[in-house]
Structure formats: structure tokens, C-alpha cells
Amino acid sequence: MKTTVSEKMFYGFNYAILTIAALSCLLPLLHIIALSLSDSHSIMSGFVSLWPMNPTVESYTLMLEGTRVVEGFKNSVTITIVGSFLSMSFTIMAAYPLSRVYCYARSQLTFFIVFTMLFNGGIIPMFLVLKALGLINSYGAIWLPGLISTFNMLVMRTFFQNIPDELDDAARIDGCGEWRLLLSIYLPLSKPVLATLTLFYAVGFWNAFMNVLIFINDTKLQNLTVIVQQMVQNQSLLQEMISLQPEDIASVTPEGIKAAGIMVMIVPMLIVYPFLQKYFVKGVLIGSVKG
């Protein structure tokens, strides 16, 4: 069918808006990359824009050797891997029974779960509960409050509901119980939504900031997000770096070190996302609409 002039104008307008939106995200990232890879003279002269000037990795070397970034990176990996595993496990265990028509009081249970999306106790009651449980200054204070995302659970439940009942009946005829049915039938068919929700949880735990800042007082347990924020916000870590390695500080600038820290924080998610991208849209769409 021939495209009309108005449709061409509409598509052109959409492409222009999307291009501007994409550039608004891409250009700052390119600038940060250029800063992290440029030498101190180029950065201080203001010549660095979207391309590194006199490329060097001194900022990365000094940052990794003179700050707590490596320690924070390890903590972030621990928080993300363990937290994503726990959240996905409990999300599946909550979504599967609520997707079964024979689950007792599933409508009432779903209502109470959805209720938490609208109302919650707030940060002070949460702090008091975690303190009473002895979880302050431990990663349990990060994992427990976000153990199940209501939105993710509803997406998973809807995906389970979309699986044909005939598979359920056939498996039960062959003697499958609930656990075998979940592990052997439902989960292998749920790879798109599993990959999508795992990415959601992983990004959330990797970028955890406020919970770590409030509940984790031990600097040895702080994650990469908090450490990079401290580098960007104040000069404490940079002063520590200068005192440890004064002979190398002339070759880099604080801006270059901050940019290197930001890149270390965002690169892992940029690496993981392409492997899950093919499941991303499919998992969200299939798990969001019943029918």
C-alpha cells in the first residue's frame, strides 16, 4: 500500500524525535568515555568533547590502584548475583501458585500483593524492622526489602497463565506433581520472561544506592554505586588517592578519575544487556497481556 504524504510526515517526525532522544543518551556517554581515556593536559585545556585526546589509561590504572573501586565492584557483583537469584526464586514461587485457578483465595492474595504497590510503611518503619531482625550493616538489608517486585511478579504470573492448559493436563496424566510441573514444563517455556525479569532485578541491585547508604555503615561493604557517588560528590577518595600515590597524580585529573569510575560502574550492564536483548521485548509483551 502506498504511503501518503501525511504518513511520511508522521514517520519523519517520529524518527526525528527518536534520533534526538537517542543522541541525548549517547552523547553524554561518549563524552564520559573520552574524558576517562584522555590525558590531564587535554582535559584541563577543555579540548575533550566526544573523542579522546592523547589516549591513555592512566585514569583507570590510578583509580583501580588507589581507591576502593575494586572492593566496591566485588561487593556490587555479590549484591547483584545473590540478590537477583533470591528475587527470581521468590518471584517464581509467588507467581506460579497465583496463576493456578485452583489456588485457594488467589484473588485475595493478589489484592494484598498489589496493595503494596500503592501503600507502604516508609523508610523509618523499614529501618526499625530490619534493625529488629539484625540485618543492619549486612546485605540482607538490601535483599529483603526488594525480594519480590510486585510488577515483576504480576508479569510472571500472567506469563504462566498464558501457557496452554493442555500442557498442564498432559503432564498431570503422566504423573507430574506441582514442583515437577514447574521445573520441567513451565520454566523451560518461560525463558523470555525469566531473562527479562532477571535483567530488571540485576539492574536494580547493581544500581542500589539509597538502601546501601542508609543500611550499610561499614565502608568495606559498600557497593560501587556509593563509592563512585562519593568520588563525584566530594574529594575524599581523590585526596586519599593523592596521599597514596603522589608521584602519579600529575598525569591525571580528578575529572578523568571520576569519568573512569563512572565507566567501571556502567560497563557491566552494557555488556550483559546485548545477550538478553532478544528476550527483552518479547518477555515484557507476552507477560503483560492476558489472551
Cα–Cα distance between 69 and 64 in angstroms, integer? 6
pLDDT computed for residue 259 by the predictor? 83
**What pLDDT tens digit does each residue of the chain (291 aa) get?**
677 878 888 889 999 999 999 889 888 888 888 888 887 777 777 777 788 887 777 777 777 776 778 888 899 999 999 999 999 999 999 998 888 888 888 888 888 888 888 887 788 888 898 899 988 889 999 998 888 888 889 888 988 888 887 888 888 887 888 888 888 888 888 888 888 888 889 989 998 888 888 898 888 888 888 888 887 776 655 655 555 555 555 566 777 778 888 888 888 888 887 777 666 655 555 544 444
Instruction: Break the chain into its structural domains and give their ranges.
Output: 1-56, 57-288
φ, ψ dihedrals at 125, nearest 5°: -60, -35
Secondary structure (DSSP) of 216-244: ---GGG--HHHHHHHHHH-SHHHHHHHHH
Q: For the whole model, what pTM was predicted?
A: 0.81
CA distances from 109 to 45, 98, 99, 116, 151 (A): 62, 8, 11, 11, 15
What grid cell was written down for 71?
572492593
User: What pLDDT does 18 receive?
Assistant: 92
Q: Are 270 and 176 in contact (CB under 8 A)?
A: no
CATH number of 57-288: 1.10.3720.10
What whole-number distance in Å separates Cα of residue 132 and Cα of residue 145? 14
Q: Decide: residue 177, CB within 10 A, 0-12 exposed, 13-18 middle, 19+ buried.
A: exposed
What is residue 55's predicted lDDT score, i.e. its pLDDT? 78
